[in-house]
């Protein structure tokens, strides 16, 4: 049958007025909701999350067509990649590569994985009576950390502090491990025998290690090439007759695309690739300090030279990120939450009759509280970890009070699960809904959804409230960082 000219996908069609109004008002209300949320809670992303639930969710407002919602979800994921890239670009490398900070990050990340699994098995299997596989699927979803939410809550000042660097590194570690666990969950859900090929576990780990150690080597080589005595960069710029800002923008987009695509096809997380792309460009294009001539006397201060890639990002991409991509990402999370099963679960009883239950509400809330405590426990490391200060340690009570804001910040910022947990929960849904007796129940999946929703809101609200109360507080270890770091590492 021939396709009419009107129905042909290649022809331009004017959108209907309801579609225009609902889409335009949604884009406008994104910024309004974020502004109101920022004023009330100091966590702007909560506004986008709520708008996504009540306006765009197919189960609540349903005011956006599936095609438009799919497009916004795609743009939102691009925003997530840019958010993580910006975190790598603005993170001081002197803090990121500090062995003490790396060890602290790994301990915090390991705690953020172990505690959710332990609490999940204790509650879901021990108290609720779910199967071990159902508990494993729930723990796999709730051991992750929402990297997008975490980074969105960090301003430039917080990213230059020790606790901010530790937070980002720990969240990245959790997501890399979450990628491995997601592969296991997907195989368990699709394979009735439950067999898992060794490459499902080993490949993401080996690829992540290869990217981790290969990126610094490549960055050192490229830095030597693009800076004196290497003239390659200048020659390309002259030959192409392009403005420096255009060259920097092209290099930034190319490197980010290469890292994201390479990490995906190699078998690790695109988010990890985006972060490594940011750190790679941060080092390669880090300005070289020019020493002043000793015979030259000048009272004027030395000019602050900024990373040209960072300048290009700030001028060209950051406005789009803050006003469009980032709000769309958090709105897409809200729209994807399956809120239709959060209050009532209908199951088939032994007699074949349908039975409705509201137990999912209290079970979900109790599980959510445990998951908040599990991730917040990672902040305990900030209470006991040395500050690396040259000054002698004061009394124990004084140290506790001084370290408490950083511990609370790290713990609360790790609480939000967000997009990563939703992805793993969808992969684990066959495990969560199968009770091992040949019947299916949506209750475990709804309990996990409760935990994802409440932890995301509690984590974002808690961090916003803490930052508002401790705005003038200096976190432990920052004094030594400021004193011992070169100007380039602290510029932003």
Q: For residue 300, name the pLDDT band (cuts at 50, 70, 90).
A: very low
> pLDDT (tens digit, 9 = 90+) per residue, 101-135?
889 999 999 999 999 999 999 999 999 888 888 89
How far apart are alpha carbons 109 and 303 in whole angstroms? 39
- pLDDT given for residue 488 in this prediction: 34
Most confident of 190-199, 251-260, 459-468: 251-260
- pLDDT given for residue 412 in this prediction: 92
At 443, list the tokens: 């209750």
> pLDDT (tens digit, 9 = 90+) per residue, 378-388?
999 988 887 65
- pLDDT given for residue 233 in this prediction: 57
Q: Which residues are registered as beta bridge partners of 247?
A: none
> pLDDT (tens digit, 9 = 90+) per residue, 430-486?
888 877 666 677 889 899 989 998 998 888 888 888 887 765 445 555 544 434 443
Q: For residue 147, name the pLDDT band (cuts at 50, 70, 90).
A: confident
- pLDDT given for residue 405 in this prediction: 85
At 218, list the tokens: 């490549």
- pLDDT given for residue 229 in this prediction: 44
Residues 6+ apart with CB under 8 A from 209: none
- pLDDT given for residue 194 in this prediction: 53
- Residue 486 DSSP SS3: coil
Tally of CB atoms within 10 A around 71: 14
How far apart are alpha carbons 331 and 73 in whole angstroms? 8
How far apart are alpha carbons 47 and 152 in whole angstroms? 13
Tally of CB atoms within 10 A around 97: 13
- pLDDT given for residue 270 in this prediction: 86
Q: Which residue has the higher pLDDT, 470 or 377?
A: 377
Nearest C-alpha neighbor of 176 from the set 110, 258, 107: 110
Q: Give the burial string for 258-296 (b: 16+ CB within 10 Å, else e).
A: ebbebbeeebbbbbbbbbbbbbbbbbbbbeeeeeeeeee
- pLDDT given for residue 492 in this prediction: 31
Q: Which residue has the tokens 């309004």?
A: 32
Q: Which residue has the higher pLDDT, 226 or 281?
A: 281
| 326-336 vs 17-41: helix crossing angle, rounded to 10 | 100
Tally of CB atoms within 10 A around 128: 17
Q: For residue 368, name the pLDDT band (cuts at 50, 70, 90).
A: very high
Report yes or no: 415 and 372 within 8 Å, Cβ to Cβ.
yes
- pLDDT given for residue 231 in this prediction: 55
- pLDDT given for residue 401 in this prediction: 78
Report yes or no: 272 and 471 within 8 Å, Cβ to Cβ.
no
Mean pLDDT score, 338-356: 70
Residues 6+ apart with CB under 8 A from 54: 60, 61
- Count of alpha carbons within 13 angstroms of residue 423, beta-carbon side: 18
Mean pLDDT score, 23-36: 93
Q: For residue 490, name the pLDDT band (cuts at 50, 70, 90).
A: very low
Q: For residue 353, name the pLDDT band (cuts at 50, 70, 90).
A: low
User: Which CATH code of 1.10.260.40, 3.40.640.10, 3.40.50.1220, 1.20.1530.20 fits the domain covering 17-289+305-345+354-490?
Assistant: 1.20.1530.20
Q: Is 156 exposed, middle or buried (0-12, 13-18, 19+ CB in 10 A)?
A: exposed
- pLDDT given for residue 375 in this prediction: 93
- pLDDT given for residue 46 in this prediction: 85
- pLDDT given for residue 373 in this prediction: 95
How far apart are alpha carbons 318 and 315 in whole angstroms? 7
Strand (E) or helix (H) holding 319: helix 318-320
CA distances in angstroms from 153 to 41, 164, 407, listed in the order given:
12, 10, 16
Q: Which residue has the higher pLDDT, 207 or 390?
A: 207
Q: Which residue has the higher pLDDT, 118 or 158?
A: 118
Helix residue ranges per DSSP H, 91-197:
93-96, 99-120, 132-142, 147-152, 156-159, 162-190
Nearest C-alpha neighbor of 135 from the set 455, 436, 456: 436
- pLDDT given for residue 420 in this prediction: 78
Q: For residue 293, name the pLDDT band (cuts at 50, 70, 90).
A: very low
If you average pLDDT over every residue of the chain, what do you get?
Answer: 79
Mean pLDDT score, 321-350: 82
Q: What is the pTM of this model?
A: 0.77
- Identify each DSSP E strand in 259-388 by its residue range: 345-348, 354-357
Q: At 395, give phi and psi (nearest 5°).
A: -60, 155
Helix residue ranges per DSSP H, 227-284:
232-240, 244-266, 270-284
């Amino acid at each position: 049958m021939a396709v009419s000219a009107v129905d042909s996908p290649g022809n331009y069609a004017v959108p209907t007025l309801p579609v225009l109004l609902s889409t335009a008002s949604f884009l406008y209300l994104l910024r309004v909701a974020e502004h109101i949320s920022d004023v009330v809670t100091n966590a702007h992303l909560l506004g986008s999350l709520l708008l996504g639930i009540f306006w765009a969710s197919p189960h609540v407002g349903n005011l956006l067509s599936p095609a438009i919602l799919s497009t916004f979800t795609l743009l939102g994921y691009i925003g997530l990649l840019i958010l993580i890239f910006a975190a790598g670009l603005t993170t001081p490398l002197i803090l990121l590569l500090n062995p003490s900070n790396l060890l602290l990050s790994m301990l915090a990340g390991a705690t953020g994985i172990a505690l959710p699994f332990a609490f999940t098995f204790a509650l879901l299997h021990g108290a609720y009576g779910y199967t071990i596989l159902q508990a494993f699927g729930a723990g796999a979803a709730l051991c992750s950390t929402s990297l997008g939410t975490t980074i969105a809550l960090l301003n430039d000042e917080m990213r230059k502090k020790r606790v901010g660097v530790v937070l980002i590194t720990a969240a990245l570690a959790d997501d890399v491990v979450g990628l491995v666990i997601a592969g296991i969950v997907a195989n368990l859900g699709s394979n009735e025998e439950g067999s898992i090929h060794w490459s499902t576990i080993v490949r993401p780990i080996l690829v992540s290690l290869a990217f981790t150690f290969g990126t610094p080597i490549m960055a050192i080589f490229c830095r030597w090439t693009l800076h004196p005595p290497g003239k390659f960069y200048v020659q390309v710029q002259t030959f192409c007759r392009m403005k420096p800002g255009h060259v920097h923008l092209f290099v930034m987009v190319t490197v980010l695309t290469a890292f994201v695509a390479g990490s995906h096809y190699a078998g690790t997380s695109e988010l990890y690739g985006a972060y490594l792309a940011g750190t790679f460009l941060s080092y390669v294009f880090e300005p070289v300090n020019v020493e002043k001539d000793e015979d030259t006397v000048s009272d004027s201060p030395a000019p602050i030279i900024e990373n040209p890639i960072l300048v290009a990002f700030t001028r060209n991409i950051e406005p789009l990120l803050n006003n469009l991509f980032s709000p769309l990402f958090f709105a897409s999370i809200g729209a994807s939450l399956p809120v239709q099963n959060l209050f009532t679960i209908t199951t088939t009883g032994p007699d074949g009759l349908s039975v409705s239950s509201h137990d999912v509400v209290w079970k979900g809330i109790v599980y959510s509280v445990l998951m908040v405590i599990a991730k917040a426990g990672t902040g305990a490391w900030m209470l006991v970890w040395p500050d690396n200060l040259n000054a002698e340690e004061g009394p124990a009570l004084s140290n506790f009070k001084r370290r408490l804001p950083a511990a609370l910040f790290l713990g609360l910022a790790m609480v939000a699960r967000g997009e990563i947990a939703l992805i793993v929960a969808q992969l684990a849904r066959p495990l969560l809904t199968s009770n091992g007796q040949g019947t299916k129940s949506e209750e475990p999946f709804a309990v996990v959804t409760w935990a994802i929703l409440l932890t995301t809101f509690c984590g974002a609200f808690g961090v916003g409230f803490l930052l508002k109360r401790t705005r003038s507080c200096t976190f432990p270890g920052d004094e030594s960082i400021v004193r011992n770091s070169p100007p380039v590492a602290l510029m932003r």
